[in-house]
């Protein structure tokens, strides 16, 4: 236990408290002392009474504020939860899109991997046909673009 | 004429770009419905059918290896 000497409304008090709580006790005493001193010229008992009343009033106000803030924190929590679920959904969607893209790339690579043997060495006729088709489709595109 | 892989890819790229041009032109055309002369349309249809037929043939041959 620790011994603390407090002075409230001009009167010294010897108080005991748990070790380590001395500073907090001194701070609390300073608050009470400050309230008590706002009523000069009255008896010490009245000073302490008014200090107690003012502190009770402040406590009540603080509680009311906390009660009012509660619904706001509820809606804030709901908004955060909604945002988090949307973020998760967006991430899942992105993940799925990336997997689809990777699968498509693999497929393309597989096709390209087979293309050289099919187009270069084994079947040059396909290459020629491909080139001719490219020419014809380009000509077709020009015709379609020039349609009235 | 022989093509190597890069030239084949270029040809495929040209085909893809031309198809995109056709798609865009048709989409634009759909927005402003103007009737083209019937002769032009049937010639165009014949050309499209011929190109599609050749493509089908090429794809079938490629599948057979």
Q: What is the pLDDT of residue B34?
A: 62
What pLDDT does residue B19 have? 84
Q: Give pLDDT tens digits for B38-55.
A: 666 777 778 788 878 877
Q: Would you state the pLDDT for residue A22?
A: 92
**Residue A17 reports pLDDT greater than 80:** yes
Q: Is B34 on the interface with A (CB under 8 A)?
A: yes
b/e string for A88-109 if b means 16 or more Cβ within 10 A? Answer: eeeeeeeeeeeeeeeeeeeeee
Given this model, what pLDDT does residue A125 score?
73
Q: Among B1, B11, B26, pick the best mutation site for testing chain A contact (most A Cβ within 10 A).
A: B11
pLDDT given for residue A116 in this prediction: 46
Indicate the average pLDDT of chain B: 74
pLDDT confidence tier of residue A112, bands split at 50, 70 and 90: low
Q: Is the ipTM of this complex over 0.85?
A: no
Q: How far is A137 from chain B (nearest CA, A)?
A: 6
Identify the band that residue A31 occupies on the pLDDT scale cut at 50, 70 and 90.
Answer: very high
Is the confidence at residue B36, as pLDDT, over 80?
A: no
Which single residue is written with the structure tokens 């709580």?
A21
pLDDT digits (tens, 9 = 90+) for A56-101: 999 999 998 888 877 777 778 888 888 888 888 887 887 787 777 7
Q: CB A138 to CB B14 under 8 A?
A: yes
Domain ranges (residues) in chain A: 62-148
pLDDT the model gives residue A32: 93
Higher pLDDT, B29 or A10: A10
Q: What are the phi and psi torsion angles at A3 (to 5°)?
A: -100, 135
What is each CA distance from A91 to A34, A85, A88, A99, A123, in whole angstroms? 56, 10, 5, 12, 45
């Amino acid at each position: 236990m620790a011994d603390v000497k407090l002075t409230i409304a001009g009167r010294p008090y010897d108080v005991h408290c748990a070790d380590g709580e001395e500073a907090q006790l001194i701070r609390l005493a300073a608050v009470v002392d400050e309230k008590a001193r706002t009523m000069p010229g009255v008896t010490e008992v009245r000073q302490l009474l008014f200090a107690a009343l003012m502190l009770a009033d402040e406590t009540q106000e603080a509680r009311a504020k906390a009660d009012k803030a509660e619904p706001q924190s509820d809606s804030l929590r709901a908004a955060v939860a909604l945002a988090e679920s949307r973020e998760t959904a967006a991430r899942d969607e992105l993940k799925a899109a990336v997997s689809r893209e990777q699968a498509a790339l693999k497929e393309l690579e597989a096709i390209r991997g087979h293309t050289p043997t099919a187009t270069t060495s084994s079947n040059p006729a396909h290459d020629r046909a491909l080139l001719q088709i490219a020419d014809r489709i380009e000509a077709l595109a020009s015709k379609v673009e020039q349609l009235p | 004429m022989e093509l190597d892989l890069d030239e084949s890819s270029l040809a495929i790229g040209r085909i893809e770009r031309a198809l995109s041009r056709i798609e865009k032109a048709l989409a634009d055309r759909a927005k402003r419905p103007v009737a083209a002369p019937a002769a032009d349309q049937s010639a165009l249809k014949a050309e499209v059918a011929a190109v599609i037929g050749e493509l089908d043939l090429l794809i079938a041959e490629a599948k057979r290896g």
